[in-house]
Amino acid sequence: MSNVAFIGLGVMGYPMAGYISKAGHNVTVYNRTGAKADKWLSEYKGSKATTPSEAADGADFIFTCVGNDKDLKEVTFGDSCSNSLNGIFKTIKKGAVYIDNTTASATIARDIYDFSIKNEFGFLDAPVSGGQAGAENGALTVMIGGDLVNFNKAKDIINCYSKKMKLLGAAGSGQLAKMVNQICIAGLVQGLSEAINFGKKAGLNMENVIEVISKGAAQSWQMENRYKTMIDNKFDFGFAVDWMRKDLKIALDEAKKNGSLLPVTEIVDQYYEDVQKMGGNRWDTSSLIKRLSK
């Protein structure tokens, strides 16, 4: 069994760290809100650190699952206005493997990779998909960038919380693949929103309609898992609009760099902005339908 540090116990990181602990590894957790770490310790075996650097000290594997590039810099390099927040790079040992599950930019992934090479530890950018339910069920999809040697070292630990993982290329490839994932989801949710709204206004029983079309070419995860709550006007089931807009901004910024055209994604991002103006910042991403159901 390995010594593992896990930094970031949000809706995703909390159960992910739990699965690593349940697999028998020695897990030390850190969270900016200490009460969340205390709650985690009441449910799982492990220990609590007061800083990221303390959590990483002596760890064979270090995981982070935080909010964005800025948060990631704080917990790694230690960039913060708070003197008490010491980054994991202050104590990470040579030969350790650092796995970042944050959805962040490919640029920061490459920067961290370059730093890891100079300081003789491994790094994998490994954003996840599957939402809160996937994390709670230990069934996340993990998109990974980095070197094969570090992937082979870390894959058994990553497997604790995943149903599918794949090394997709050099550092940054995991983050780029997550952008592809979010681009797909944005279009799918908008299409499903329009279809449900259209069907309801046409007088169809949409429960029955979805039962039929979900077995054909229109089928998607979004359809299978969100159509009922969308019909019932309930939007408290997972990934929040604020986080989706953060992810879409990353994708749109990357598209400008590589010359990609993302016309649908740009429109859907604007639609999510409309949802935010409606007070839906914390609604889940299927709340796009709220714009149509006036």
Distance CA 26, CA 291 (A): 47
Taking only the tens place, the pLDDT of each residue in 76-111 is 998 654 444 589 999 999 999 999 999 999 999 999
Long-range CB contacts (within 8 A, 24+) of 267-271: 267/190, 268/186, 268/187, 268/189, 268/190, 269/186, 269/245, 271/190
| Active-site residue flag, 178 | yes
Res 238: pLDDT: 79
Q: Which of 178, 246, 256, 277 is catalytic?
A: 178
pLDDT tens column, 43-84: 999 999 999 999 999 999 999 999 999 999 999 998 654 444
Helices (H), the chain: 13-22, 34-43, 52-56, 69-76, 106-119, 131-136, 148-158, 173-201, 206-213, 221-231, 241-258, 263-277
> Does position 22 have pLDDT exceeding 80, yes or no?
yes
User: What is the SS3 assignment for 128?
Assistant: strand
Q: Average pLDDT, whole number, for the chain?
A: 95
**C-beta separation of 61 from 53 below 8 A:** no
pLDDT value of residue 89: 96
Domains of the chain: 3-170 (3.40.50.720), 176-291 (1.10.1040.10)
Rounded mean pLDDT, 145-168: 98
Prediction pTM value: 0.94
Please give the pLDDT value at position 83: 46
